Amino acid sequence: MSDATNSENAELTEMCQYVLRNHGKRIRPAMCILSYYVCGGKDAKKAIDVGASIELIHNATLIHDDINDQGDLRRGAKALYKEYTIGKSIVAGDYLFALGFRLLGASTDSIIDYIVDAASGLAAGEFSQKKYERNVVVDESEYMKIIGGKTARLIECAGKCGSYLAHSDAEDIDKIGQFAYNAGLAFQIIDDVLDVAGDESSTGKRVGNDIVEGKPTLPIIYAMEDPVVGSRVKEIFTNPNSTYDDAAECISLIKKTDSIARCREKARAIADEAKASLGFAPDSVYKRSLIGLIDFFVSRDR
Amino acid sequence: MSDATNSENAELTEMCQYVLRNHGKRIRPAMCILSYYVCGGKDAKKAIDVGASIELIHNATLIHDDINDQGDLRRGAKALYKEYTIGKSIVAGDYLFALGFRLLGASTDSIIDYIVDAASGLAAGEFSQKKYERNVVVDESEYMKIIGGKTARLIECAGKCGSYLAHSDAEDIDKIGQFAYNAGLAFQIIDDVLDVAGDESSTGKRVGNDIVEGKPTLPIIYAMEDPVVGSRVKEIFTNPNSTYDDAAECISLIKKTDSIARCREKARAIADEAKASLGFAPDSVYKRSLIGLIDFFVSRDR
């Protein structure tokens, strides 16, 4: 990935390196490469390239997301547009997006279809998220669609690409896809839990961001259903001028309900469903790693 | 292109259709398809797909450019981010970018390389343009590099893709590339002339935009060299608070110099050089069309 970002423009290269240096958990490349091995692949070179390509595209969308959401911090460091400018960051995001497609090289139609489907899902997920911003009408099933587009589809794509590259048949590619999609849902539910119940020094993100931004998340949706604190949570969630102080109040209200426990339970149930999709694959160190990955998703605190 | 933009999200589809409805001159697909025929291609289906793909990528960058430059109008209609929001428009641009790559389908390495090279050139061009914003140090050779990255490289890419698809040898692909690159330079010089000397009802753009935005263009660079009006032109160009009234004054000063005539002369000289690159190709209706295209670029008033 790092080699791919060298450009003729020193500042552009520097911005790409800034983004890659503060890297995240790189779960999409992990999903791609492990899925490849689980499905019997032997030489992961191509799966590594495709995984890196997906990670570059993911980073490109994060740069643009931070601009849209006016997020200050990303992975414990200043968001790119805060360190440079919005204009340059839009362009740097486009550049990383193009590099992602370059790394794909001459891939087959299927790989490109998987990735473009996921990229268009990202756009659709962003659109429904905006539709339900500060909107109490949002419910669990709408939430699942939003995080499906926003998070799970690119992780699903990573799994399907790995499986496809290992020459799996269509049925097994679907099963790995179901595993990875559900893993993505579980990951995002816990991500949203950490916005309420996380520790800033572990997560690298300010707690309460989603509440201040009016983003519909599962902990908020469940808390809005609570007969005692629900109406005050709704007030804060729908207030376009809510502050981090309001968010702190909202978090203490959410913590009085069973919302966090229900979210964790939901994530665990989805993770169990995901693991069941892996029944087709023989036991191996790679399969155990995939299961370890999803266990980490639902138990993590960062 | 229109078929490609159908998505599961109605508003996203609507935004894509908005951009495609107010289409421009579509010179990139024209360059791709004509180059294909000039180089002896017979069935243009693939060249049409690649041309459409390049046009989608071009439109994606225009959406983002308008956000960066705070441009109000695009092709006589409101810029997308003015009709919708900045956030949605960043996402819609990303989506069109992804669709562009989807339409490429399973193209060969060379086609993808040409396109990613051009896309990275766009980013580098934007970066140098920003470096020379309101900066009197900019000269003709820096300007040529900026418009090379910003405009000429994607047009060059369209020509090279067409030629490559017609199975030309490396030398002929280079020559078509030189033709198309120079055509792109000539096109952009006249575009910049029209910002000063154009008629708003023909161009669909407000005159004086580049001056208000402090963009380094050839008419401004030449006028800054003028012994009589140069110092006042410099004052307006470097003023971060300049208005459209200031731009109107600047334009009337530029018109007192030989700047516009020199720009048109420069564009014509580059067009002549471009035509010379086509010497290798036998006469045909397609070759005459390419020559007609570049003649239009340098004589157009819209």
Chains A and B form CB pairs within 8 A to the count of 130
Tokens of A230: 């629900």
Contact A109 B108 (CB under 8 A): no
Confidence grade of residue B107 (pLDDT, cut at 50, 70, 90): low
Distance CA(B128)–CA(B121), nearest Å, equals 11
State the average pLDDT for chain A. 92
pLDDT at B175 exceeding the cut of 90: yes
Do the interacting molecules here have an ipTM over 0.85?
A: no
- Measured between alpha carbons, how far is A22 from B251 in angstroms, rounded to an integer? 47
At A180, which amino acid appears? A
Q: Is A60 on the interface with B (CB under 8 A)?
A: yes
The answer to whether A94 contacts B12, with C-beta atoms less than 8 Å apart, is no
**Two tokens, residue B58:** 């071009």
Residue located via tokens 């290992």: A166
By residue count, chain B amounts to 302
> In angstroms, what CA-CA distances link A76 with A71, A81, A188, A202, A203?
12, 14, 18, 9, 7
For residue A14 the two structure tokens come to 């520097």
CB-based burial of residue A82 (10 Å sphere; 0-12 exposed, 13-18 middle, 19+ buried)?
Answer: middle
Residues of A in contact with B148 (CB under 8 A): none
- Residue B44's identity, in one-letter code, is A
Residue B97: count of CB within 10 angstroms of its CB: 27
Measured CA to CA, the distance from residue B177 to residue B170 in angstroms comes to: 10
- Say if residue A94's pLDDT is above 70: yes
Output the CATH code of domain A3-299. Answer: 1.10.600.10
Distance from CA of A88 to the nearest CA of B (A): 7
Strand-pair partners of A73:
A78
**C-alpha dihedral over A230, A231, A236, A238, to 10 degrees?**
110
Question: pLDDT tier at B186 (50, 70, 90 boundaries)?
Answer: very high
How many angstroms separate the first and last alpha carbons of chain A? Answer: 24
Q: Tell me the residue type at A52.
A: A
Q: How high is the pLDDT of residue A70?
A: 78
Q: Decide: B147 and B185 in contact? Cβ < 8 Å.
A: yes
Task: Tell me the percentage of chain A whose pLDDT exceeds 90.
Answer: 70
Nearest to B162, CA basis, from B280, B37, B278, B275: B37
What value, to the nearest 5°, has the Cα angle with vertex A279 and ends A273 and A280? 135
Q: Per-residue pLDDT averaged across B196-211, rounded?
A: 85
CA A160 from centroid of its chain's CA atoms: 16
Task: Measure the CA–CA gap between B20 and B77, rounded to whole angstroms.
Answer: 12
The answer, for B120 touching chain A at a CB cutoff of 8 Å, is yes
pLDDT in the model for residue A106: 62
- E strand residue ranges, chain B: 73-74, 77-78
Instruction: Quote the pLDDT of residue A279.
Output: 96
Question: What is the spatial distance between Cα A72 and Cα B86, in angstroms, rounded to a whole number?
Answer: 18
With 0-12 CB in 10 A as exposed, 13-18 as middle and 19+ as buried, what is B161? Answer: buried
User: Cα separations (Å) of B8 from A168, B4, B13, B151, B186?
Assistant: 28, 12, 8, 32, 40
What is B8-299's CATH number?
Answer: 1.10.600.10
Of the pLDDT bands very low, low, confident and very high (cuts 50, 70, 90), residue A16 is very high
d(CA A241, CA B35): 56
Q: What 3-state DSSP class applies to B281?
A: coil
**Structure confidence by residue, pLDDT tens digits, B15-50:** 999 999 888 889 999 999 999 999 999 999 999 999
Say yes or no: B74 contacts chain A, CB-CB below 8 A: no
Q: Is A124 on the interface with B (CB under 8 A)?
A: yes
CA dist., res. B127 & res. A89, Å (int) = 10
Distance CA B263, CA A153 (A): 50
- Tens of pLDDT, residue by residue over B266-277, are 999 999 999 999
Comparing CB atoms, the residue among B11, B99, B123 nearest residue A91 is: B123
Q: What are phi and psi of A77, to 5 degrees?
A: -120, 165
Q: Name chain B contacts of A12, Cβ cutoff 8 Å.
A: 123-124, 127
Split at pLDDT 50, 70, 90, the class of B75 is confident
CB pair distance less than 8 Å for A98 and B120: yes
Q: Which residues contact A156 (CB under 8 A, 6 or more apart)?
A: A118, A177, A178, A180, A181, A184
Closest CA to A49 of B102, B262, B109: B109
Q: What percent of chain B has pLDDT over 90?
A: 70
DSSP letter (8 states) at residue A136: T
How far is residue A133's CA from residue B247's CA, in Å, rounded to a whole number? 41
Helix ranges restricted to H, B6-44: 10-21, 27-38
| Subunit contact B124:A90, Cβ cutoff 8 A | no
Pairwise CB contact (< 8 Å): A109 & B106: yes
pLDDT of res. B299: 93
